[in-house]
């Protein structure tokens, strides 16, 4: 019984990071580096909470969170794809913008309670299920379908994709919006399902962890899932072990997620080295595209 | 001691003897018509509903009190450590002559920045390093914890109470010891489970910590982190808790059955006034229930009347000075004697407290 509740906590803690990192992986596979994940998450957290509170339906909240995250990401998309601003600077600005905006509009929602989340199969709510289902779906779309191939092509070499007649900007706009929507759902999960209220700055750096996980995962959805479970899961696990009074040094427990990450990174990069390939980062990641012909 | 060090210490002693005669920092009143700029740095967002929120109420109180004579500014969500120095320098450079740094982990940053700006006065909350232009102030949260511990011991049905700690620093350890001692006093079967979150403010992690404790059979949770997330978790899953730093009244009458309120406003008003009339001096103060700096929030109807009366009696005894929460006989966790019968802990012992008392099974990360 104890193991089952621990597993539930683990799944729940990993979910916000899983959504945000999946979205960022899609954006980065199209060649866009969006450092605004934290900003989009916190926007999703507020919009989702507000909508869930207004309608009494967590479902509506998650849809609103997705829309809000996507809307914010479109600001980034227009700035970087049409006005060719620097992606790193614009992404950082997006995070600050999101944090500031939500701090202002979130005031009326402080101390307000969220409607309760309905359970789902096996006591796991349906948003966790959705996250788990998205992993193979995104993998399939990216690796086994034509739109996925085009998206990856745009990310690997935007000049070549352009020469073949693909709309680089259009593809990237869509990828950024998907990234924003998923980050928004991740943020909404924090406010609606984990914390059950709105608090300014409540995502507390989850967006940055999601960004790190995308690299850790080698830009693969399955890697993202593993990363989210490691970061989110081991964090919960160590809280759980502490609560149970297990006599393991707390420092060791707190270190565990990071230690595990470093080890996995070393293994991944060693594998690539011996397989003869270079890094796995998309070839055009972070580079601005401007069609000259 | 050889001659050189002897001479050096003699010179140092002479210098120290001279110090009071020197005009320390320029102690002139701020003239009418000239504005005093007062800066604040907070460890969390103002909207945390807890610790930083209460400090900001203090800031608003000085604005209300002094109106046009002062101007206030604040930087929120400042990480503890090196970045705090940047924030403090920024405030000092922008013309603040009095700066309140409101978290323990800002301590070294305050000392470093104060050395660079000798004409700026600094007030550091909950720290212990002082200088001519650095004062420290603290609240005896452990007095409030004694009252919460009493309620916790009486209210628990599983005889397991949980404590979400932030960092293993004396301020937090005092709170854990005080809550545990007073819970045990009214309920000898009580056990304490401690979870260290290693953060002051991370609602998701605080909520997860609460879930972990609840899964362990805990039914009363005390927290030493800043957000209301643990209370929201208790509301969802059952169990009771307490407002921390702020009243957290939105969770009345349950799960929030009472609270410890940090009332910084009177101290802030007093100290700003002293800068305005030129009488500010560095000091270290530690105020408690009796001074009104630590307040006990309303004990709700979820608590039986006799428990409420017991808790309030304890509050009043502490407030009047008749009772000290750390009064012997008390042993340390390892069973060694700490305080003899009737002996009270000194402030020095408390402000460097790095051990649990006997009966707590959790370990302090070292």
Q: Residue B14: what pLDDT?
A: 47
**Beta carbons of A245 and B232 less than 8 Å apart:** no
Q: Residue A1: what pLDDT?
A: 45
Nearest CB to A9 within list B45, B201, B212: B212
- Residues of chain A positioned with their CB less than 8 A from the CB of B197: 239
Give the distance from residue B329's alpha carbon to the nearest chain A alpha carbon, in angstroms: 26
Residues B60-68 have a mean pLDDT of 94
Determine which of B44, B47, B333 to mutate to test the interface with A (most A C-beta atoms within 10 Å).
Answer: B47
Any idea which of A127-141, A171-185, A193-207, B142-156 has the lowest mean pLDDT?
Answer: A193-207
Instruction: Determine the distance from the C-alpha atom of residue B348 to the mean position of all C-alpha atoms in its chain, rounded to a whole number.
Output: 16
Determine which of B50, B203, B226 to mutate to test the interface with A (most A C-beta atoms within 10 Å).
Answer: B203
Distance CA B290, CA A277 (A): 70
B190: contact with A, CB 8 A cutoff: no
Q: Residue B17: what pLDDT?
A: 45
Q: Residue B325: what pLDDT?
A: 96
Q: What are the residues facing A174 on neighbouring strands?
A: none
Q: What is the pLDDT of residues A237-259, one digit of tens each?
A: 788 888 887 767 767 776 776 77
Nearest CB to B212 within list A195, A196, A243: A243
Q: What is the pLDDT of residues B120-137, one digit of tens each?
A: 999 999 988 999 999 999
Any idea which of A45-59, A175-189, A269-283, B298-312 has the lowest mean pLDDT?
Answer: A269-283
Q: Residue B29: what pLDDT?
A: 83
Q: Which of residues 92-131 of B touch A (CB under 8 A)?
A: none
Mean pLDDT taken over chain A:
87
Q: B107 pLDDT exceeds 80? A: yes
Instruction: pLDDT band for A293, please (50, 70, 90 cuts).
Output: low
Q: Residue B223: what pLDDT?
A: 95
**Beta carbons of B207 and A194 less than 8 Å apart:** yes
Nearest CB to A13 within list B195, B208, B215: B208
**Beta carbons of A199 and B207 less than 8 Å apart:** no
For the packed helices A168-189 and A37-55, what is the interaxial angle rounded to 10 degrees?
60
Q: A292 pLDDT exceeds 70? A: no
Closest CA to B91 of B66, B113, B112, B70: B113
Q: B88 pLDDT exceeds 90? A: yes
B255: contact with A, CB 8 A cutoff: no
The side-by-side arrangement of strands in the sheet containing B220-223 is: B191-196, B160-165, B220-223, B240-245, B256-262, B294-297
**Beta carbons of B208 and A103 less than 8 Å apart:** no
**Beta carbons of A235 and B227 less than 8 Å apart:** no
Q: Residue A244: what pLDDT?
A: 82
List of domains in chain B: 27-139+264-287 (3.40.50.2300), 141-254+295-351 (3.40.50.2300)
B215: contact with A, CB 8 A cutoff: yes
B258: contact with A, CB 8 A cutoff: no
**Beta carbons of A250 and B363 less than 8 Å apart:** yes
Give the distance from residue A170's alpha carbon to the nearest chain B alpha carbon, in angstroms: 36
Give the distance from residue A202's alpha carbon to the nearest chain B alpha carbon, in angstroms: 6
Residues A217-242 have a mean pLDDT of 84
Q: Residue A272: what pLDDT?
A: 64
Q: Which of residues 196-225 of A touch B (CB under 8 A)?
A: 196-197, 199-206
Distance CA B131, CA B134 (A): 5
Q: Which residue of B has its CA nearest to A246?
A: B362
* Sign of the four-CA dihedral A95, A98, A101, A105: negative
CA of B318: how far to CAs of B43, B141, B144, B146, B214, in Å?
29, 12, 9, 9, 31
Closest CA to A188 of A10, A19, A9: A19
Q: What is the pLDDT of residues B264-295, one digit of tens each?
A: 999 999 999 999 999 999 999 999 999 999 99
Q: B61 pLDDT exceeds 60? A: yes
**Beta carbons of A9 and B250 less than 8 Å apart:** no
Residues B336-351 have a mean pLDDT of 92
Q: Which of residues 128-157 of A touch B (CB under 8 A)?
A: none
Question: A39 and A56 in contact (C-beta within 8 Å)?
Answer: no
Nearest CB to A110 within list B47, B194, B365: B47
Q: Residue B356: what pLDDT?
A: 94
**Beta carbons of B216 and A202 less than 8 Å apart:** no
The string of DSSP letters for chain A reads -HHHHHHHHHHHHHHHHHHHHHHHHHHHHTT---TTHHHHHHHHHHHHHHHHHHHS-HHHHHHHHHHHHHHHHHHHHIIIIIS---HHHHHHHHHHHHHHHHHHHTGGGBTPPPPPPP--GGG--HHHHHHHHHHHHHHHHHHHSHHHHHHHHHHH-HHHHHHTT--HHHHHHHHHHHHHHHHHHHHHHIIIIIS-SB-TTTTTTHHHHHHHHHHHTTT-HHHHHHHHIIIIIHHHHHHHHHHTT--S-HHHHHHHHHHHHHHHHHHHHHHHHHHT----S-TTTT-------
Instruction: pLDDT band for B6, please (50, 70, 90 cuts).
Output: very low
Mean pLDDT taken over chain B:
90
**Beta carbons of B201 and A197 less than 8 Å apart:** no
Any idea which of A227-236, B196-205, B271-280 has the lowest mean pLDDT?
Answer: A227-236
Q: Residue B138: what pLDDT?
A: 92
Closest CA to A194 of B237, B243, B162: B237
Question: Could you report the predicted ipTM of this complex, rounded to two decimals?
Answer: 0.76
Instruction: pLDDT band for A2, please (50, 70, 90 cuts).
Output: low
Nearest CB to A247 within list B199, B235, B363: B363
**Beta carbons of B47 and A201 less than 8 Å apart:** yes
What percent of chain B shows pLDDT beyond 70?
92
Instruction: pLDDT band for B7, please (50, 70, 90 cuts).
Output: very low
Q: A279 pLDDT exceeds 70? A: no
Residues A171-200 have a mean pLDDT of 93
Q: Which residue of B has its CA nearest to A11?
A: B208
Give the distance from residue B102's alpha carbon to the nearest chain A alpha carbon, in angstroms: 18
Question: A118 and A125 in contact (C-beta within 8 Å)?
Answer: yes
Q: A121 pLDDT exceeds 80? A: no
**Beta carbons of B205 and A235 less than 8 Å apart:** yes
Nearest CB to A204 within list B162, B196, B202: B202
**pTM for this one?**
0.80
A163: contact with B, CB 8 A cutoff: no
Residues A103-110 have a mean pLDDT of 86
Q: A145 pLDDT exceeds 50? A: yes
Tokens of A160: 């070549």
Considering only residues B168 and A5, tell me which one the structure prediction assigns the higher pLDDT.
B168
Q: Which of residues 113-132 of A touch B (CB under 8 A)?
A: 113-114, 116
A244: contact with B, CB 8 A cutoff: yes
**Beta carbons of A201 and B44 less than 8 Å apart:** yes
B166-182: buried (b, 16+ CB within 10 Å) or exposed (e) per residue?
Answer: bbbebbbbbbbbbbbbb
Instruction: pLDDT band for A277, please (50, 70, 90 cuts).
Output: very low
Q: Break chain A into its structural domains and give their ranges.
A: 2-275
Domain A2-275: CATH architecture, name and number where available: Orthogonal Bundle (1.10)
- Residues of chain B positioned with their CB less than 8 A from the CB of A247: 363
Q: Which residue of B has its CA nearest to A5?
A: B215
Q: B160 pLDDT exceeds 80? A: yes
């Amino acid at each position: 019984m104890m193991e089952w509740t621990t597993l539930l906590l683990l799944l729940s803690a990993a979910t916000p990071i899983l959504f945000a990192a999946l979205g960022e992986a899609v954006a980065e596979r199209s060649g866009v580096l969006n450092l605004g994940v934290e900003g989009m998450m916190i926007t999703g957290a507020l919009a989702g909470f507000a909508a869930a509170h207004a309608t009494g339906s967590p479902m509506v909240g998650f849809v609103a969170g997705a829309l809000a995250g996507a809307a914010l990401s479109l600001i980034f998309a227009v700035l970087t794809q049409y006005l060719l601003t620097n992606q790193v600077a614009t992404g950082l600005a997006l995070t600050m913008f999101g944090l500031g905006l939500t701090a202002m509009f979130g005031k009326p929602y402080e101390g307000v309670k969220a409607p309760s989340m309905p359970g789902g199969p096996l006591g796991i709510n349906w948003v966790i299920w959705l996250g788990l289902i998205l992993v193979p779906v995104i993998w399939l779309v990216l690796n086994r379908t034509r739109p996925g191939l085009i998206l990856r092509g745009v990310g690997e070499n935007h000049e070549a994709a352009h020469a073949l007649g693909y709309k680089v900007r259009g593809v990237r706009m869509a990828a950024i919006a998907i990234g924003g929507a998923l980050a928004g759902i991740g943020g909404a999960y924090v406010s609606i399902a984990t914390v059950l209220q709105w608090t300014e700055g409540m995502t507390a750096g989850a967006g940055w962890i999601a960004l790190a996980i995308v690299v850790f995962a080698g830009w693969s959805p399955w890697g993202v899932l593993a990363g989210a479970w490691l970061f989110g899961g081991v964090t919960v696990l160590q809280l759980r072990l502490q609560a149970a009074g297990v006599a393991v040094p707390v420092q060791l427990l707190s270190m565990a997620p990071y230690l595990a990450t470093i080890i996995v990174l070393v293994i991944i990069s060693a594998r690539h080295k011996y397989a003869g390939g270079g890094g796995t980062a998309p070839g055009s990641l972070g580079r601005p595209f401007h069609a000259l012909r | 001691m050889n001659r050189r060090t002897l001479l050096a210490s003699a010179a140092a002693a002479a210098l120290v003897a001279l110090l009071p005669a020197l005009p320390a920092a320029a102690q002139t009143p701020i003239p009418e018509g000239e504005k005093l700029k007062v800066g604040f740095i907070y460890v969390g967002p103002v909207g945390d509903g807890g610790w930083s929120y209460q400090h900001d109420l203090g800031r608003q109180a000085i604005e209300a009190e002094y109106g046009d004579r002062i101007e206030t500014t604040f930087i929120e969500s400042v990480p503890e450590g090196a970045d705090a120095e940047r924030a403090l320098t920024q405030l000092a450079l922008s013309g603040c002559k009095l700066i309140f740094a409101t978290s323990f982990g800002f301590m070294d940053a305050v000392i470093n920045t104060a050395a660079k700006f000798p004409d700026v006065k600094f007030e550091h909350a909950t720290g212990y390093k002082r200088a001519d232009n650095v004062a420290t102030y603290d609240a005896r949260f452990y007095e409030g914890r004694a009252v919460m511990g009493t309620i916790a011991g009486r209210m628990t049905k599983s005889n397991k109470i949980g404590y979400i700690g932030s960092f293993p620093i004396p301020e937090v350890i005092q709170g854990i010891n005080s809550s545990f001692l007073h819970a045990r006093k009214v309920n000898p079967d009580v056990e304490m489970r401690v979870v260290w979150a290693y953060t002051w403010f991370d609602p998701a992690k605080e909520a997860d910590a609460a879930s972990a404790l609840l899964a362990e059979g805990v039914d009363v949770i005390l927290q030493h982190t800043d957000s209301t997330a643990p209370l929201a978790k208790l509301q969802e899953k059952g169990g009771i808790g307490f407002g921390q730093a702020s009243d957290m009244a939105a969770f009345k009458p349950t799960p929030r059955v009472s609270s410890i309120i940090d009332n910084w406003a009177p101290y802030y008003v007093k100290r700003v006034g002293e800068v305005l009339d030129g009488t500010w001096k560095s000091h270290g103060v530690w105020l408690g229930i009796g001074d009104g700096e630590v307040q006990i929030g309303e004990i709700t109807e979820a608590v039986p009347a006799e428990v409420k009366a017991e808790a309030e009696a304890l509050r009043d005894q502490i407030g009047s000075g008749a009772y000290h929460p750390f009064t012997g006989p008390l042993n340390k966790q390892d069973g060694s004697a700490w305080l003899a019968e009737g002996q009270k802990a000194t402030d020095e012992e408390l402000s460097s407290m790095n051990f649990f008392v006997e009966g707590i099974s959790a370990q302090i990360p070292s």
